[in-house]
Amino acid sequence: MYAGIDLGTTFVKTHTGLIFPSGISEDIYNMANNVMTVEGKRYTMELFNEKAEYEINVNKTLNKNARLNFLYAMHKLSPDENGVFKGVIVGLPASQWKNDDNVNAFKKLLNLSDSIDVEVNGVNKTIFAEEIEIVPEGSTAYYALDYSRFGGRKTLIIDWGGLTLNSILFQNDEIIDVYTDEFGSLKIYKDISGEINSRLGTNVKLEDMHDIILNGFPIKEHLPMVKDIIKEITTTYCKQIYKNLKLKWDVDTIPHVSMIGGSSISLGQYLCKYIPHAGIEENAQTLAAKGMGIVARMCFA
């Protein structure tokens, strides 16, 4: 048995299609729902509200929530009380993946070479993983696409997440370079929601922004102003992201640019104005996790 787990800042995705919020609290607000007990501590899982604690450290090797969400996902993926996995694929921000010390530290954080008991809502499972392999975040999406259409030519995968924007450059179906920009969507959402609240006296939260950008502001008389705020702030960030990519590669000459990640669904349209030949892939939020399953099957079959 194998697994692929995409440990996102706001959502965790698995190769099987499971998606759940990554917010956690050590306080038990609702004893009946999504309570995990591990190593003598109890956590409320799957939170996506003001009670949630989100790990905002870009360096995932120091991210305690990463391990907790990892164990929770492994419990969900285990078909019975003995969750024995031959191997698991997990991602690190691309720039961290380039450093062997970071990769080893992340493997140590997630280590399941000694089995561990994990209880979720009263169901106990013993989890064990023989191997954990680390890949650059977003890279596995390449293998979930019909990449034959790229013809082995240079292809850039841009994975826009909550804390980072990871870019992975492929040629001949292999990774040749990677880059991480720290302009994740949470930074942009924070600026937008702050400006909306400042101008309108509202209480818009970070978790509201994805829906507001896609579906509009619920108070119709404020909609034009909110649209202008979103456009102004997001355009400023996307202009800088484009400049950063240009410093790394001549992105205008890369034949194929594919955007993935949940944040590309809401913000990708603004970056596409600077990279007009970029495309936002279908099922952008889950492509990387799906690709993890493909890579895991190749590695651990």
- Domain boundaries, position 105: 2-139+289-300
Q: Which of 1, 226, 223 is nearest to 129 (CA)?
A: 1
Q: How far apart are CA 167 and CA 137, in angstroms?
A: 9
Mark the ranges of the chain whose per-residue pLDDT is less than 70.
27-32, 49-62
The pTM score is 0.91
The count of structural domains within the chain is 2
Give yes or no: residues 63 and 172 share one domain: no
Q: Are residues 121 and 15 in the same domain?
A: yes
Tell whether 210 and 171 lie within a shared domain.
yes
Residue 100: exposure state from Cβ atoms within 10 A (0-12, 13-18, ≥19): exposed
Residues 98 and 9 both lie in one domain: yes
Residues 29 and 118 in one domain: yes
In this structure, the answer to whether residues 103 and 220 fall within a common structural domain is: no
Domain check: are 86 and 122 in the same one? yes
Same structural domain, 242 and 213:
yes
**198 and 135 inside one domain:** no
Q: State whether 115 and 225 are in the same domain.
A: no
Distance linking the first and last C-alpha atoms of the chain: 8
pLDDT at 25: 85
Task: Please tell me the predicted confidence (pLDDT) of residue 254.
Answer: 97
Are residues 132 and 16 both part of a single domain?
Answer: yes
In terms of domains, do 125 and 236 share one? no
How far is Cα 226 from Cα 111, in angstroms, rounded to an integer? Answer: 45
Q: What is the CATH number of the domain that holds 192?
A: 3.30.420.40
Helix and strand element counts for the chain (H, E) = 9, 14
